[in-house]
A and B are shown apart, each in its own frame.
Chain A
């Protein structure tokens, strides 16, 4: 994208923008109102509603898909356009039920708003209605076709952002429009109605049910009440709900969300979260964020006895074990406890991530990775290594998909577990299902493909060249052969010689360059040819790396390779922190390797357990009952607010009892400034929202600190760590499950079990026992994940009491023995 600054005039107001931006987006960024229903800011224009009609330099264009040019003059409204828009709104109102009173949109309805905005007070069109049934598409999606205006926003977001493409437009079976209307009606209104009358939204797999990740983003973008989450149908009016801006607590994306609360019922005045909404123009949620909200820990009051025990436990404790589903403030408090009491801090996920980051920092000279997901979304070539994109971080997956759909981009996906979804993101996506342990090879391949060879060491150049060889191959080629035929003309009886071209397949021997790396990684033969096409005309490249690399025996070498790639390939680099706040914890806490002695489990296993799950000895608030900040994947410190009140004790009370606390937990927020990269800002000064131009005003961005760069060489790949035989278990959560909180949420029902590909499931039967080398075993139900491929079994780690992290230790893949039960 060129960044040439240009100026356009919209309704007389001078607006600065860049070339290639849509008129609508420029107008929105400059607070000029252009009506638009079907357009979604980050998605491709649908052109379904046609209401954003404007006049640009005297020509009628649609603001959502017309790009601005320097010096352009745009008129938003004139009499003709207004007539057109009014006719469009009248058409939308034809046969739309008038029971606004029971509709779940309850006034937050764009159909209602624009009907009033354009002062439609009478109806001039009519057509017989068709029967349209209410449908439940999945456990969470409810579609009321009667209310649907077929703006296709749901279809667009599902395709362009989410990547599931689970819904499409299907036949409506409506009557054809009266013929005479074509001449009498405004042109655009007629075209829009013609399309509307023919379509309705249906699941794209041909059944009555969607096969998707249940993210519910379609319900968020629906301008009317047609798509609602099943749990929310007829529960509450929007105006009764109190919106609390917060940050999603489930994965490292740290998306901005609103918890919407109201009293539970007439007889129960306690506040309850009814739904989660988001700024869908600027952020897309996953199913966990949208539906995993009722994980609060309700306690009756302060349990003084348990508190006294807890204080005693802290005084005797030698280790505190915790996971990264905590706020920065809690992490800071734990660090304070370590300084004061000399306890060890144990955190599996953050420790692995921290080791990787430290090693990366030494190699790159930067304290943190260079990019964020927003930059990834702007790139046109994206590579993912070592992340189960579908499960580890939904936003990384959305970014990967977005690059394919919106930037005409290409992608490479390296992962030992095959995935059938990623390949559907775009035509230029190449999947490498490599063997476990070959991650280094993948990075070497990236170096080979993208690096500026001039900047590489001779040693590496030689090493890379050693994989290349020339081979003779016989290929089949189609050529057009000229064949002369004699043809007799039937009418005249003359015989003519006609030369015809006939396709013919011939075999040809050619010499091809074979890249051994591609072969070793299980890439297909055609890759090299395809790759040239994929890489051509691409300008910006990005690399997403995931948890597999942090839990790798050669993590130090990997981190150096990653740093090298970032430097010599000019790639935007993003690392997916394994859990919600792993990045924050890794930066704030001084973590230890092994636990010892008396262990306090903070939301984890331990001799004395503090937790928000109810079976702990001392209750602490859940993340929707706490104020604080998270450090997310985009290197931002983002605030979250308490949606529900909490009457028990929290960590700060313990610190206070030990004499090192503050008045409130958020008093620790400015203290974070003591840590390099963080700022000393009061919690109440942290913003949490987006501007009309889509600029993220949430908390503050971490400063990337420069560290001393050490000259460390990358080493060659060593095959000994490759696991290529026997059964392999992979520590990976199902979609929508991330931690104990999602587990507790009533609408997230992915079970704890062994997730396998459909083929593997046939082999395994219904239940298996997975036995690890050290002797631990799990009895697990076999659950089919349609989108998995291959033989690797995924074992979830979201239930902390199952201690899956402990069993896997510093690996993400383990050799196991499987017994059928």
Chain B
């Protein structure tokens, strides 16, 4: 390939083209004339029309689009990681947490602690559970590691408080038993993937 085209650095010979425009106003009279011409063009109202129409609809037709936060809140993505919730089993109402301690272990800001004990029914009982929200960084590892989907992230994102350390106990996070029918299965961070069934090998049963 010849490089001559690139070696020609004489740009003065290129063909520029001037766009024609009106002559600049010279006298004060001409200047005033141009200002007036531009000002009273009807096109201004073509643009404003959308605003005016929406204003009209909002004020008189009840089609207001503003969310009145904090009285109203927008729905939030299920993958958003806000204040934790503890879920219950839908069938029995018993809390899902088995006290395995994985969330406590994986927590990188070390803000989860739990006490467990051997209860009268020979089960592992979670006697107390706490999260220090002053320290929690809402990374979502606890929800991801939870084998029972017991601890999940809820939609409550207002985390400001009067104290730096704000603890939450088990009871505070647990779905109230009377609200159990409203408890939704958690689709967010750490939930089972929709095609999970395809990825597992089934264990044979002899019954």
Is B99 close to A, CB under 8 A?
A: yes
Given A99-B98, A234-B117, A266-B113: A240 and B201 interface contact (C-beta under 8 Å)? no
Within 8 A of A (CB), among B68-117: 98-102, 104-105, 113-117
Pairwise interchain contact B104-A123, C-beta atoms closer than 8 A: no
Choose one: A126, A234, A239; the contact of B205 (CB below 8 Å): A126
| Chain B 127-159 interface 0/1 with A at a Cβ cutoff of 8 Å (1 = within) | 011100000000000000001100000000000
Pairwise interchain contact B201-A126, C-beta atoms closer than 8 A: no
Choose one: A126, A134, A233, A235; the contact of B204 (CB below 8 Å): A126
Given A106-B101, A234-B99: A128 and B201 interface contact (C-beta under 8 Å)? no
B101 partner residues in chain A, CB cutoff 8 A: 106, 237, 239-240
B204 partner residues in chain A, CB cutoff 8 A: 123-126
A266 partner residues in chain B, CB cutoff 8 A: 113-115, 128-130
> Please, which residue of chain A has its CB at the minimum distance from the CB of B205?
A126
Is B203 close to A, CB under 8 A?
A: yes
Is A494 close to B, CB under 8 A?
A: no
Pairwise interchain contact A101-B105, C-beta atoms closer than 8 A: no
Choose one: A99, A125, A134; the contact of B122 (CB below 8 Å): A134
Is A127 close to B, CB under 8 A?
A: yes
A367 CB → nearest B CB, Å = 51
Given A265-B128, A266-B113: A233 and B105 interface contact (C-beta under 8 Å)? no
Choose one: A102, A128, A239, A263; the contact of B99 (CB below 8 Å): A102
Is B32 close to A, CB under 8 A?
A: no
B147 partner residues in chain A, CB cutoff 8 A: 101
A255 to B130, CA, bound (A): 38
Residue from the set B105, B118, B207 with the largest chain A CB neighbour count within 10 Å: B118
A123 CB → nearest B CB, Å = 4
Is A305 close to B, CB under 8 A?
A: no
> Please, which residue of chain B has its CB at the minimum distance from the CB of A100?
B100
A754 to B3, CA, bound (A): 113
Pairwise interchain contact B122-A128, C-beta atoms closer than 8 A: no
A237 partner residues in chain B, CB cutoff 8 A: 100-101, 105
Pairwise interchain contact B105-A239, C-beta atoms closer than 8 A: yes
Is A121 close to B, CB under 8 A?
A: yes
Within 8 A of A (CB), among B16-74: none
Is A122 close to B, CB under 8 A?
A: yes
Within 8 A of B (CB), among A112-141: 121-128, 134
B128 partner residues in chain A, CB cutoff 8 A: 265-267
Residue from the set B114, B128, B206 with the largest chain A CB neighbour count within 10 Å: B206
A505 to B65, CA, bound (A): 116
- Count B-side interface residues using an 8 Å CB cutoff: 28
A235 to B129, CA, bound (A): 14
A265 to B126, CA, bound (A): 12
Pairwise interchain contact B115-A265, C-beta atoms closer than 8 A: yes
Given A102-B124, A234-B117, A266-B113: A240 and B105 interface contact (C-beta under 8 Å)? yes
B100 partner residues in chain A, CB cutoff 8 A: 100-102, 237
Within 8 A of B (CB), among A261-288: 263, 265-267
Pairwise interchain contact A233-B98, C-beta atoms closer than 8 A: no
B207 partner residues in chain A, CB cutoff 8 A: 128
Pairwise interchain contact A234-B124, C-beta atoms closer than 8 A: yes
A265 partner residues in chain B, CB cutoff 8 A: 115, 128
- Count A-side interface residues using an 8 Å CB cutoff: 25
B206 partner residues in chain A, CB cutoff 8 A: 126-128
Given A123-B203, A126-B203, A240-B105: A234 and B116 interface contact (C-beta under 8 Å)? yes
A99 partner residues in chain B, CB cutoff 8 A: 98
A234 partner residues in chain B, CB cutoff 8 A: 99, 116-118, 124-125
Given A101-B147, A127-B206, A266-B130: A233 and B118 interface contact (C-beta under 8 Å)? yes
B148 partner residues in chain A, CB cutoff 8 A: 101
B133 CB → nearest A CB, Å = 15
Pairwise interchain contact A240-B203, C-beta atoms closer than 8 A: no
A266 to B205, CA, bound (A): 41
B203 partner residues in chain A, CB cutoff 8 A: 122-123, 126
Pairwise interchain contact A101-B116, C-beta atoms closer than 8 A: no
B3 CB → nearest A CB, Å = 62
A122 to B147, CA, bound (A): 19
Residue from the set A235, A240, A265, A266 with the largest chain B CB neighbour count within 10 Å: A266
A128 to B114, CA, bound (A): 36
Residue from the set A99, A121, A123, A234 with the largest chain B CB neighbour count within 10 Å: A234
B129 partner residues in chain A, CB cutoff 8 A: 266
Choose one: A101, A126, A128; the contact of B102 (CB below 8 Å): A101
A263 partner residues in chain B, CB cutoff 8 A: 113
Choose one: B98, B113, B114; the contact of A101 (CB below 8 Å): B98
A240 to B106, CA, bound (A): 11
> Please, which residue of chain A has its CB at the minimum distance from the CB of B113?
A266
A127 to B116, CA, bound (A): 33
A396 to B123, CA, bound (A): 39
B99 partner residues in chain A, CB cutoff 8 A: 101-102, 234
A125 to B122, CA, bound (A): 29
A126 partner residues in chain B, CB cutoff 8 A: 203-206
A127 to B113, CA, bound (A): 40
A123 to B128, CA, bound (A): 37
A106 to B99, CA, bound (A): 11
A236 to B201, CA, bound (A): 32
A122 partner residues in chain B, CB cutoff 8 A: 201, 203
A106 partner residues in chain B, CB cutoff 8 A: 101
A126 to B203, CA, bound (A): 8
Pairwise interchain contact B117-A235, C-beta atoms closer than 8 A: yes
A266 to B104, CA, bound (A): 12
A102 to B119, CA, bound (A): 13
A126 to B207, CA, bound (A): 9
A131 CB → nearest B CB, Å = 13
A267 to B105, CA, bound (A): 18
B76 CB → nearest A CB, Å = 30
A123 to B201, CA, bound (A): 8
> Please, which residue of chain B has its CB at the minimum distance from the CB of A238?
B101
A123 partner residues in chain B, CB cutoff 8 A: 201, 203-204
B165 CB → nearest A CB, Å = 13
Pairwise interchain contact A102-B117, C-beta atoms closer than 8 A: no
B116 partner residues in chain A, CB cutoff 8 A: 234-236
Given A125-B204, A265-B115: A240 and B124 interface contact (C-beta under 8 Å)? no
A263 to B104, CA, bound (A): 13
| Chain A 63-95 interface 0/1 with B at a Cβ cutoff of 8 Å (1 = within) | 000000000000000000000000000000000
A265 to B114, CA, bound (A): 8
A610 CB → nearest B CB, Å = 36
What are the 10 closest A-B residue pairs judged by CB atoms, nearest first? A101-B100, A126-B206, A126-B204, A234-B124, A233-B118, A122-B201, A234-B118, A102-B124, A123-B203, A237-B101
Q: Can you show 6 pairs from A to B with CB atoms below 8 A apart?
A: A101-B148, A102-B123, A123-B203, A235-B116, A237-B101, A265-B115
Query: Chain B interface (Cβ within 8 Å of chain A)?
Result: 98-102, 104-105, 113-118, 122-125, 128-130, 147-148, 201, 203-207
Interface contacts beyond A102-B124, A266-B115, A266-B129: sample of 18 additional A-B pairs, CB < 8 Å, sorted by A:
A101-B99, A102-B98, A102-B99, A102-B100, A122-B203, A124-B204, A126-B204, A126-B206, A127-B206, A233-B118, A234-B99, A234-B117, A234-B125, A237-B100, A237-B101, A263-B113, A265-B115, A267-B128
